[in-house]
Amino acid sequence: MTATRINHVSVRAVDLEASVRFYTELFGARPIPTPNFGGILAWLQLGDAQIHIFQRGEGWDRDVHFALEVEDFEKVFRRAKAMGALDDKGNWGHYMWALASGVVQLYVRDPANNLVEVVWPSVDSLPADIAAEVRNRADLNEQTEESARATFFTR
């Protein structure tokens, strides 16, 4: 159950446009397709990783997290479930989602209540019992042609 790298970091912004400008002008990040999660957000590519910026008010930190890629999603999922680490309180009331592009998001909480996301390239590659637990983000929010292309795996 090895994590292979940090995929993205999600941060809060009070002013999305100012934050996007900061990361693009200072670090050379570039905007990439962003899914519609029903809020104001932007995804930026920075080298091999991404920065996801959520516009929220002061003191809002529910969406702040980091995401890991793993070698074996099934093992990580089953172990997290056995540990009681699946996060079903945030993230629209469920712990595992698929974007319109088919990539999977699994949300877990560490012992200090930090949110950790585990990403996987394709819901179609999951065992049937795990895939049955995946909910689709597109069922919550309509996706444009561009937002439906959003993925964590851009390299």
pLDDT at 2: 82
CB 7 within 8 A of CB 50: yes
pLDDT at 14: 86
d(CA 23, CA 83): 36
Instruction: Give the 3-state secondary structure of residue 133.
Output: coil
pLDDT at 42: 96
Write the class of the CATH domain 3-149. Answer: alpha beta
The domain segmentation of the chain, as residue ranges, is: 3-149
pLDDT at 135: 96
For the chain, 155 residues long, the average pLDDT of each consecutive 10-residue run is 88 90 91 92 94 80 82 94 88 90 93 84 97 95 94 83
CB 118 within 8 A of CB 108: yes
